[in-house]
Amino acid sequence: MITLVQQFKGKGESETLPKKIVSITKYEKPYESVKKAVSSCGGFDALRSGARVFIKPNIVFWSSESIFPKWGVITTSRVVEDIVVLLKEHGIDDITIGEGIVDSFQDDGAAAHASAYLGYDLLGEKYGVKFINVMKRPFKKVDLGDGITLSFNQDIMESDFVIDLPVMKSHSQTVVSLGIKNLKGTINTASRKKCHNADRNKDLHYHVSKLADKMPPILTVIDGIYSLSRGPSFDGRAKRSNLLIASADILSADMVGAKLLGYHPEEVPHLVWAAKKRGRPLDLSDLEIVGEDLAEVAAEHEYTFDYSITETGEMPMALARSGISGLFYRKFDDTMCTYCSSLTGLVLIAIRQAWSGEPWDNIEVLTGKVMEPAPGMGATILLGQCMYKLNKDHPNINKMVAVKGCPPKPEDVVKALHEVGIEVNPSLFSNIAALPGAYMERYRDRPEFEESFFKVE
């Protein structure tokens, strides 16, 4: 049998397999820049007139309680509207915008508020676009092979064409969050938690790598007008990058996006898995990159926070610089799901504020699904139901303080910290939805960060 590689071996360049096209476009003008990005990669070549199109932006989460940094966190409404206009010009009338916003802040009206604020409601009035909250819609089980079954939103799976609009950002667990990772917002809560499992062979990266496998045809347009370091959320650091990356091949878009963020695809586990399944090289040799020079516009975006490990404690460097001792707050791993991780930043802020200069009694905080207690700790806080189930009978625990919720209730976290002598301020947890607004200060008086990018006129 002649293999595909053998079939093309030795033939001229014109007879080899065509390269995947990825466009890198400078964002300069509304509509015109997005149109250039899409046309340069042949993004609508497979889109037939009259198709049902599903647009998947990246909203991550929403708070109706505060104005918070959206730059580099949420897909700009500017790009969403430009895509809608292009679709209408292409003869497309059945357009749905859908996202599964994580309700981490007990904000029942988050999706409706986001739709109104971001202008999706107005897009409905102007162009007949529908907006759906994925979490309130039907899901269907999809067999992704290798024993992995996840439940995807039925609307996207039954569409004819998907336009994936991720933000160009790094990610604290998956290194980057681009086209493939953005599709995680289309699966239900149980499936999201399943992705963050304790199986080291079929871990988060392995699950994420499969998210696009059974999707309809996808055009990926990475919104890099603003990009984000230490993402994926409001506590990262945004910058104005003015870039759009587009491709009719989602893996190709992601590999170029990773390079623009400062990472070789080999450094991104879910891209390695996705490339292996598709028989694709990781060196970009099968790509044709058009537009801007990749090397000239790439910039390093850190994806994780530094941690301090000393005899007096393990904790984020920001806490260590405050002089805190007697606390062991281990670095999170990829088994901690979104629902617990949304609390982590707040817990660390509260601990930092509670520090009075007196060492704590070797307090250990464990998260995720695989951490085990260390011997000799004064007390061990098991944060989340998964940690409790794993370690409730562990012999290394001298004093167990369990926060069993899935996700933990903020008031239970306060109670646990108080029990071990860390007197955090309860008011920080009572209005948790206002927390994102605290990060706005870093962008004050910086004119390049324009809220208008998240409006529809």
Structural domain tally of the chain? 2
Q: What is the pLDDT of residue 104?
A: 52
Phi, psi of 74 (to 5 degrees): -120, 140
Asked if 337 and 284 sit in the same domain, the reply is: no
Q: What pLDDT score does 374 carry? A: 95
Q: Which of 163, 167, 176 is nearest to 240 (CA)?
A: 167
Q: How many helices (H) and strands (E) does the chain have?
A: 17, 18
Model confidence, pTM: 0.93
d(CA 267, CA 282): 10
Tens of pLDDT, residue by residue over 224-241, are: 999 999 999 999 999 999
Before 18, cis peptide (omega within 30)? no
* Among the listed residues 201, 151, 208, the one whose alpha carbon sits nearest the alpha carbon of residue 176: 208
Q: 262-276, 403-417, 433-447 — which one is most confidently predicted on average?
A: 262-276
Of 248, 257, 239, nearest to 219 by C-alpha is 248
Split at pLDDT 50, 70, 90, the class of 396 is very high
In a domain, 3, yes or no: no
pLDDT digits (tens, 9 = 90+) for 101-153: 876 555 568 889 999 999 999 999 999 999 999 999 999 999 999 999 999 99
Do 317 and 251 share a structural domain? no
Structural domain contains residue 450: no
Question: For 398, left (φ over 0), alpha (ψ -120 to 50), or beta?
Answer: alpha
Question: Which two three-digit tokens encode residue 338?
Answer: 């979104």
Which pLDDT does position 106 carry in this prediction?
Answer: 52
Rounded to whole angstroms, how far apart are CA atoms 352 and 346?
10
Q: What's the pLDDT score for residue 71?
A: 98
Distance CA 156, CA 441 (A): 37
Checking if the pLDDT of 31 tops 50, the result is yes
**pLDDT value for 9:** 35
Contact 247, 22 (CB under 8 A): yes
Q: What is the CA radius of gyration of the chain?
A: 23
Ranges of beta strands (E only) in 58-160 are 94-99, 130-133, 139-143, 149-153
Which residue segment(s) compose the domain that 312 sits in? 307-433
Asked if the structure places residue 365 within a domain, the reply is yes
Q: Is residue 446 part of a domain?
A: no
Cβ 167 vs Cβ 73: under 8 Å: yes
Same domain, 142 and 278: yes
Residues 6 or more apart whose Cβ sits within 8 Å of residue 177: 58, 166, 167, 169, 170, 171, 231, 232
Q: Mean of the pLDDT values across residues 394-398? A: 97
pLDDT digits (tens, 9 = 90+) for 179-203: 999 999 999 999 999 999 999 999 9
**What is the average pLDDT across 414-442?**
92
The Cα–Cα gap between 216 and 161 comes to 6
Q: One-letter amino acid identity for 255?
A: M
Average of pLDDT values for 319-332?
94
* Average pLDDT for the chain: 93
Same domain, yes or no: 332 and 219: no
Is pLDDT above 60 for 213? yes
229 in the same domain as 144: yes
Shared domain check, 313 and 283: no
pLDDT at 149: 98
- Name the DSSP letter for residue 52: E
311 and 280 assigned to the same domain: no
Residue 11 predicted with pLDDT over 80: no
The predicted model gives 281-302 an average pLDDT of 98
Per-residue pLDDT band at 10 (split at 50, 70, 90): very low
The whole-number pLDDT of residue 7 equals 34
Based on the fold, state whether residues 338 and 211 are members of the same structural domain. Answer: no
Do 320 and 249 share a structural domain?
no
Write out pLDDT tens, residues 50-102: 999 999 999 988 888 889 999 999 999 999 999 999 999 999 999 999 999 87
Say what percent of the chain tops pLDDT 90: 85
- Among the ranges given (294-303, 309-318, 385-394), the one the predictor scored with the smallest mean pLDDT: 309-318
Please check whether residues 375 and 295 belong to one and the same domain: no
Per-residue pLDDT, averaged over 9-17, amounts to 47
Helix (H, G, I), strand (E, B) or coil at 189: helix
pLDDT for 377 beyond 70? yes
